[in-house]
């Protein structure tokens, strides 16, 4: 028989401790976010549908994005046992400069429309974490504004070569003058992809007000307060705005860009040059032969060609063919620090996060971006410890098996 007694108050207090309530609503909701998916849920509640769908959506049937994410979920890790990893070194040298972790913030357009702090929040958070920040040609903070927000950190610039070449050349010169150390020459956007969510939502710059958007905005007054009481939303690097997103993108992009344009830009740019949007081995080999510093395997977050190749699946073949000559980056679908670990194990020098950063931004501005980085780095370090890897150099292909659902049919 169990002996029973009346509980003593002093003993109860030893067994139970009440958590101090957090009165700051922003801190409370961000502390409750344990994954990037949690931040996405918060972002969806707090952001008007058109702006959220621009971030969350992809092209046409959104198959490219879904497949890219599935590829990371289909990773099987092979941990090593009895290998001490009490401390983990996540630092790396990427494109000639230091990074505290093997990932950077990717370029995103229209960023202040997601949340008014926009690129200033992203650049500041990246600088504080010791990782690079990338400003998009279609960003809503100027090159000089990003430099001011991240004066001592690493800033990269993503370039679209536009129909009016002089505009692109001017941006290259401004980024160089501001001390940006890496240029991302983007090659997967000859025309804008068919982003159907944006078309259905009438997403435009400036936003178009309809009965539906007004009804959707009623439970989100904080977004509208921020939007209406901060400087006018416009492209800080471009002069022409107005129209749907597709119209703006088509005006900015040029389907005639070629290796000749790459040669011109390389002649103007004093830092590292990386080609973003590579989607097959042959193109990777041609770029390596052309002497670029790096390539980023990317299908533009699934926002351009639907049914595009899965960047993570391409990674081992590209690393095998050109990894000794150029630094390989990878993006699209990264939602967990374990995705970053798997990419590095298969030979990527770095990865890029786009949507994960924007979910944090929409969830809580600068503090939300800090939380995104905190979640990803926590997952990254924990995964490395569980694998028995105490540094990035110890990660190797044997740690990762890519389980594959989509297998090409035999020819014939």
Q: List residues with catalytic annotation.
A: 300
Q: Within 10 A of 70 (CB to CB), how many other CB atoms are there?
A: 16
Q: How far is CA 82 from CA 85, 86, 390, 399, in A?
A: 9, 11, 12, 15
Q: In 390-404, which positions are buried (b, 16+ CB within 10 angstroms) versus exposed (e)?
A: bebebbeeebbebee
**DSSP assignment, residue 392?**
G
186 forms beta bridges with 276
Give the DSSP per-residue string, 253-313. --TT--HHHHHHHHHH--SEEEEEEE-SHHHHHHHHHHT-SEEEE--GGGTSSTT---HHH
**DSSP assignment, residue 240?**
-
Which tokens in the block code for residue 64? 């490219």
Q: How far is CA 303 from CA 91, 280, 353, 369, in A?
A: 31, 17, 14, 22
Beta strand pairing call for 204-205 and 182-186: unpaired
Which tokens in the block code for residue 96? 């000639």
Cα–Cα distance measured from residue 363 to residue 86, given in angstroms and rounded to the nearest whole number: 33
Cα–Cα distance measured from residue 249 to residue 144, given in angstroms and rounded to the nearest whole number: 23
Cα pseudo-dihedral 125, 131, 132, 134, rounded to 10: -50
Handedness of CA 77, 62, 314, 192 (dihedral sign): negative
Could you tell me if 355 and 58 are in contact, meaning their C-beta atoms sit under 8 angstroms apart? no
Could you tell me if 389 and 113 are in contact, meaning their C-beta atoms sit under 8 angstroms apart? no
The kind and range of the H/E element at 29 are: helix 25-31
Could you tell me if 361 and 117 are in contact, meaning their C-beta atoms sit under 8 angstroms apart? yes
């Amino acid at each position: 028989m169990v002996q029973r007694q009346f509980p003593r108050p002093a003993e109860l207090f030893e067994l139970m401790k009440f958590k101090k309530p957090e009165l700051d609503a922003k801190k409370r909701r961000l502390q409750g976010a344990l994954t990037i998916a949690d931040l996405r849920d918060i972002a969806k509640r707090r952001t008007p549908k058109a702006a959220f769908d621009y971030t969350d959506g992809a092209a046409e049937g959104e198959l490219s994005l879904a497949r890219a994410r599935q590829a990371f979920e289909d990773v099987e890790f092979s941990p090593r046992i009895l290998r001490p990893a009490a401390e983990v070194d996540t630092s790396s040298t990427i494109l000639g400069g230091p990074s505290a972790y093997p990932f950077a913030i990717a370029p995103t357009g229209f960023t202040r429309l997601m949340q008014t702090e926009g690129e200033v929040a992203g650049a500041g958070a990246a600088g504080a974490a010791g990782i690079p920040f990338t400003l998009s040609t279609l960003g809503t903070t100027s090159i000089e504004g990003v430099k001011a927000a991240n004066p001592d950190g690493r800033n990269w610039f993503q370039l679209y070569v536009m129909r009016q070449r002089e505009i692109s050349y001017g941006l290259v010169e401004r980024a160089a003058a501001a001390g940006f150390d890496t240029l991302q020459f983007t090659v997967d956007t000859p025309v804008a992809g068919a982003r159907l969510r944006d078309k259905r939502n009438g997403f435009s710059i400036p936003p178009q007000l309809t009965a539906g958007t007004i009804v959707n905005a009623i439970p989100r007054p904080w977004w509208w307060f921020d939007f209406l009481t901060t400087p006018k939303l416009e492209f800080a690097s471009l002069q022409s705005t107005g129209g749907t997103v597709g119209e703006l993108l088509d005006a900015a992009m040029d389907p005639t860009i070629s290796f000749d344009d790459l040669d011109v830009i390389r002649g103007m740019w004093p830092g590292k040059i990386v080609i973003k949007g590579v989607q097959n081995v042959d193109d990777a080999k041609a770029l390596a032969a052309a002497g670029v510093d790096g390539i980023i395997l990317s299908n533009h977050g699934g926002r351009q060609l639907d049914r595009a190749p899965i960047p993570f699946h391409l990674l081992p073949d590209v690393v095998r063919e050109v990894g000794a000559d150029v630094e390989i980056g990878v993006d699209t679908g990264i939602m967990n620090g374990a995705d970053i670990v798997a990419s590095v194990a298969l030979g990527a020098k770095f990865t890029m996060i786009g949507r994960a950063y924007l979910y944090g931004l929409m969830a809580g501005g600068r503090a939300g971006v800090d939380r995104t980085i905190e979640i990803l780095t926590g997952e990254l370090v924990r995964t490395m410890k569980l694998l028995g890897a105490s540094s990035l150099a110890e990660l190797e292909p044997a740690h990762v098996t890519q389980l594959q659902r989509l297998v090409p049919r035999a020819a014939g």
